[in-house]
Structure 1
Amino acid sequence: MKYVELRSEDGGIMFDARRYLEALPSFEKLLPGGARRFATDPDHYDFYNTRCVKDLALERQLFDVDSEKFSLEFAPNVHKHDEGLTVTYVDIRSIEFRMEPAAESVPWRFNVLLDEILPEGGGIRHEFELGGGTLVIEAADLEARWRVV
């Protein structure tokens, strides 16, 4: 990620979105509408808010062949979230999913540590850092919708 920082510290992981939030006003107008609404939502990086992306669990990926849309469905963390999240991307340009090998079954492997949305080629680059890998989607735009599960 370009701005969001994740680093090992004292046996754990330190999460810091401050640099991203400081830089966001300089490029938010370059983000398409759906991505801009999602990225600038004050709850997005508020770790104590039920609509923060941290700790959501990637549950499902869906391709809609007819509409050529790609959706990610995230399950809520029962200790933190009231709702799950669906993020739907239009005009997909690329999807890159890299997972680190796991020596054993790790339940938090697909949990979102943090994400970052940047303008890219007239569209967006949305990067998720997961507990065991990285997911990067480049698309024209996205729609994020919180849903009761």
Structure 2
Amino acid sequence: MRRTGMAAIALVMLACACAPAEVDEPRLPVASVRSTQFSPPPPPVTDTVPTAEQLTNLLAASLNYAIPEDDRARLFDGPVERNVSLARAWGAQPNPQHIDFTTVEPAGPDAVNASGQGHLGNIEPYPVGPIPFVRWDNEWKVSRAFACGFVGAFDGHDACA
């Protein structure tokens, strides 16, 4: 009886495993909604004269690949569509330095120069500047001419075409 009981249990298990499964309606693919890993761009700087901290954040954001390319393109003066390739090349620096601006000086109508300290890896902080910023469309931006000169000196000649 013991063998018969085991055989019956095995037969029931086998029958359950082989029985046709209920047919469900085909499922539509489900989109998984997750928050993006992108960082938001900084708020526009619209003060009459920007602060050193505002320009520090603006420059850092322009180099930050965690911010979408189109948003970084808006951080340079000029039309956004002209600045997308510049934003790509500008942010692609292999070891971007971090700059903390400490002074902002007027450089003409709708223009300022910022100076401060650069930080790169374990190197002692070093003086940086002046770096030009311009007021375009009532917002302070990284100077496109400055950024184009910088990336053009390396390999981004097409970035500002």
TM above 0.5, one fold? no
TM-score (norm 1): 0.34
For normalisation by structure 2, the TM-score amounts to 0.32
Q: Which of the two has greater strand per residue?
A: 1
- Indicate the structure with greater helix content: 2
Higher gyration radius (CA): 2
